[in-house]
Structure 1
């Protein structure tokens, strides 16, 4: 007795078979309180390219900082394969596994064109790493990150409330600005949130600076340090960022364009007047003195 053929698949099942992303796939983490990293901004729908460029750039900088692995020392003239393998394992243990990739991950913000590159565990300080990126751009070294616009170090994240922002800023301001006499400004940005009051957040940040760095002065036009409070949905990214003007507000694209423009030579000036007063231009545009013109006319007449 022959078996019946299976029933044809429904139209919905066929669609699910070919629609990209219909199957469940692992997703990146989301932005929450207690994170640190670098907030990347880019053009909408180009987040994937910006993430790849940022990760490649960060990993190359971290690799440059790692000390070279010392060659395995030969003890007692033993050259067997087992001894060489044992020495190599010991060297890896001593360097702490230097060949491992730095613990970077992606935290989605839910706001188009904004992604947090999260620095986990033993990752370096995000502020120090971004400063190396900016200094490299100032030194006219080519940075292969054309899709990245802004690269903001995020020292911590907290709930988007004035109380939480003040508590998160206190250790940061105390470590970077205590006793300082420079200038600062509270930089406020808000995305995908209409509930948080701008004045309350700025007052909370400015109150911490006034308490811990009373000699610092507010300069809204050209501050030396920026106290950043960037709200994305219900989370606030908090940082104390030096060299705010030098790094073009940590806008990597603007900084790169400014450096390229300053390195471009000025165009040569076009001469509008004649080189000799009363001269007559010849066919190629050069000037012919009147005496030369008279001699040529006399020669033709003779």
Structure 2
């Protein structure tokens, strides 16, 4: 792990470096995405996480192009939409992402969901391997994959996923899956890092927040960073975007870390990947 511009970077299993803190654009309306992303880049973020399903890749690409920042300094992730898991569909969808972003290449492209009842995610993964071999994506990975999904990929394909983006927060610490990822050289990315705000009023979080004189959100995001998670909080207000970025001038002690981790109760804010088979209309 190295540090550039105050934000640590994690080296993925193929040597590509990813900033540990990024900016997420989930649920940001397409017409607001360009401005929100430009704000994040102005604050100092150099990692943007979008997806085909979010419908706002175009705004992300506009912001990256208009920012005045060298393309090589910005890490852009997108994800395959659920309706395009067949090989040809996946390859075409990847090309559509390149077109929507209009930034020549993607740094990371993920299978968004395994969709166990819809198709064969191994076939989908092999399509991503083809895209990776084509050189227009620097790394490929998965999102919402459980250990048994990953075991199939490891057994039946060639490229080990660079990341697994999963729901992680103090009420769903995912320690076993994170350990499996680490054991196999797969970096863990945490979505819903503050459980859509549900953990912010927890007495443990509030107590630690008072002690370290940081906001509850900063405490939870710092917990993620110290655990080694890659995290990308979302906000459309500049003040909150700046707050979420200010994580590197304080530390949580071992007791804080243990107390937050002990809040785990296996509580999801999103779907269970073993039973989620949604395809957008």
Is the TM-score greater than 0.5? no
Structure 1 length-normalised TM: 0.26
Q: Kindly name which structure, 1 or 2, has the bigger radius of gyration based on alpha carbons.
A: 1
Which one has the bigger helix percentage? Answer: 2
Structure 2 length-normalised TM: 0.28
